[in-house]
């Protein structure tokens, strides 16, 4: 299958969305209503809530990436993921693409821990998607192909602006997480630029190790100094 990781991630988000709608029945929210606006009680079981992360639920940094607040939120993010995935997965390769997506999602979550509301939930794949944008922009900048005259870069910058607007328009989404994901993805793209065509395994995985290590250190610092 072409783009297996992209379609796998989209399928995972859609299946999780349907499951959340179905589970809303436990709280008196009919499934057909849950398909339009997700039941908040169910979302909170996996949403990124800094207060709960402080209690040891660090898995929310990942689970929240696969949750969405409503049909518009899901639809816009999945269209963005398809648009970006159709390019980034082939350009970076499947394993690097998946690593970029997940690490960017975590980076966005870490930014929310520092600058979001301590008890306010946040959900969505936007931080990870911003990371895909950042990955391409970081890669292009290091390779010397970053220019408004480049049609791909121009389209990505427009998409970046649209996603920032979305962050101001829909509840439970954070532009703080968007920018954190963008920064994490940019760092990954910058680091992967000289190794994307490399066949040396250790050199190829070094960007993953560096960004993952940085995310771990940032999380540890948050526990030590902000909780």
Residues annotated as catalytic are 126, 178
CA distances from residue 96 to 77, 103, 169 in whole angstroms, order as listed: 20, 10, 31
> What are the backbone angles phi and psi of residue 206, rounded to the nearest 5°?
-60, -40
CA distance 97 to 88: 7
**DSSP string over 146-164:** --TTSHHHHHHHHHHHHHH
Q: Which candidate, 3, 126, 131, places its Cα nearest to that of 72?
A: 126
CA distance 29 to 49: 22
CA 182 to chain centre: 9
Sequence-distant (6+) residues with CB within 8 A of 81 are: 6, 9, 10, 13, 125, 129, 132
Residue with tokens 């931080």: 127
Q: Which candidate, 80, 128, 135, 138, places its Cα nearest to that of 102?
A: 128
- In contact, 38 and 68? CB cutoff 8 Å: yes
Residue with tokens 């000289």: 194
């Amino acid at each position: 299958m072409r783009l297996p990781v992209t379609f796998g991630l989209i399928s995972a988000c859609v299946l999780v969305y349907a499951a959340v709608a179905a589970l809303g029945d436990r709280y008196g929210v009919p499934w057909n209503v849950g398909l339009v606006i997700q039941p908040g009680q169910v979302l909170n079981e996996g949403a990124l809530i800094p207060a709960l992360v402080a209690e040891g639920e660090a898995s929310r940094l990942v689970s929240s990436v696969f949750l969405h607040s409503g049909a518009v939120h899901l639809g816009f993010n999945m269209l963005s993921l398809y648009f970006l995935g159709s390019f980034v997965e082939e350009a970076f390769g499947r394993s690097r693409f998946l690593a970029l997506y997940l690490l960017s999602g975590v980076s966005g979550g870490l930014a929310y821990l520092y600058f979001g509301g301590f008890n306010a939930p946040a959900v969505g794949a936007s931080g990870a998607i911003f990371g895909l944008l950042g990955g391409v922009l970081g890669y292009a900048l290091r390779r010397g192909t970053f220019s408004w005259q480049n049609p791909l870069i121009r389209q990505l910058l427009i998409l970046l602006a649209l996603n920032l607007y979305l962050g101001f328009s829909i509840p439970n989404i954070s532009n703080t997480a968007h920018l954190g994901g963008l920064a994490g993805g940019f760092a990954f793209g910058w680091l992967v630029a000289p190794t994307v065509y490399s066949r040396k395994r250790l050199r190829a995985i070094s960007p993953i190790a560096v960004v993952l290590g940085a995310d771990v250190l940032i999380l540890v610092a948050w526990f030590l100094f902000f909780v």
